[in-house]
Structure 1
């Protein structure tokens, strides 16, 4: 009897060291981590989009429509690329009838309110036209086939005959250049504000 009790005691003590099966749970310890911020859990709503590196530290993709966010990023990137070009070009080129200014931040004052209002008005018309009148976040993507940033504008036929992988590679280049341009135009503007001198 003593032998049986000893064997049972040893068996029960050995069982204490055996790993127990636990149900899988998603926590910060076993979740996919962000590529860009390795100490933050990767956002799930950005997965599958071209240029996704898991960067959404404020959780915008959890609170807003991801298609709307992508459209906003692409449009801001395109505007910033044009702004960078215009910021530099105006130092060397002056439209006939206008005064040359070295400080690009003074350009709106040089051309006056009418020219600035024309830009705002025509951008509003373009926004209305490209979205077929659906200009609110709730209705902009009521058509499920609408791709964010795709305006059907390809006058040089750069996407003709390209595979989806090649189109995605070009889209990634546009997004990366747009992200860089958003940072660059902010730096250019603040350079002029702080120094009061032309960029070049």
Structure 2
């Protein structure tokens, strides 16, 4: 009986002993995301310009980060142009084009020809920018290729810049692009919901 009681006491005391560290506890010590504090920071976005730990769906775990960054930059640039065009076209009409106050009606007003020119023109640009490679697997087969850098700098803004200055310019482009993606979505939603021009 005394032996059984002693064994019970020793086993209950073992429950209060410090647990051995294992690989399972490392997840609890993981760095948390800056943008979503209740999620762990994505490991594959670290070191990229503009990283704030925002990848709630874990895209960076399944896709090449170069491809993801290229996609973000292209969508950002398109959104910046779209946001500007959405506002400007309410005040400026190109020669030979009908005057349209409602930006959402512009494609129907100008007809299919200009829209097809844009579609095929951008298709050729995409084909050229990817050197004819259109899949994720071989898009960055050239390891020296930098996402979003197509050598287009007519104003020479990148000449003579240090690595820190270039990183600062890239950060500004990413931030403005992210804002523009939200902005064009908001402008289109406003137009659809209210049925009125932006201004």
Q: CA deviation at 1:149?
A: 0.5
Residue 80 of structure 2 corresponds to residue 90 of structure 1: no
Residue 136 of structure 2 corresponds to residue 158 of structure 1: no
Per-residue displacement from partner, 1:74-115 (whole Å, max 9, x unpaired)? 000000000000000100000111111111000000110111
Q: CA deviation at 1:131?
A: 1.2
Residue 79 of structure 2 corresponds to residue 80 of structure 1: yes
Per-residue displacement from partner, 1:107-165 (whole Å, max 9, x unpaired)? 00011011101100000000111111112211110101111001111111111111111
TM-score, length-normalised on structure 2? 0.89
User: What number of residue pairs does the alignment pair up?
Assistant: 188
* Corresponding residue of 2:137: 138
Q: CA deviation at 1:24?
A: 5.4
* Corresponding residue of 1:183: 182
Distance 1:114 1:27 in 2: 58
Per-residue displacement from partner, 1:144-197 (whole Å, max 9, x unpaired)? 111100111111111111111110000000000000000000000111111111
Residue 159 of structure 2 corresponds to residue 129 of structure 1: no
Q: CA deviation at 1:26?
A: 4.9
Per-residue displacement from partner, 1:1-42 (whole Å, max 9, x unpaired)? xxxxxxxxxxx9xx9676465345454421111010010011
* Corresponding residue of 1:9: none
Distance 1:112 1:41 in 2: 49
Distance 1:104 1:64 in 2: 35
TM-score, length-normalised on structure 1? 0.88
> For the pair shown, which has the larger CA radius of gyration, 1 or 2?
1
Distance 2:197 2:80 in 1: 19
Higher helix share: 2
Q: Give the superposed CA RMSD.
A: 1.7
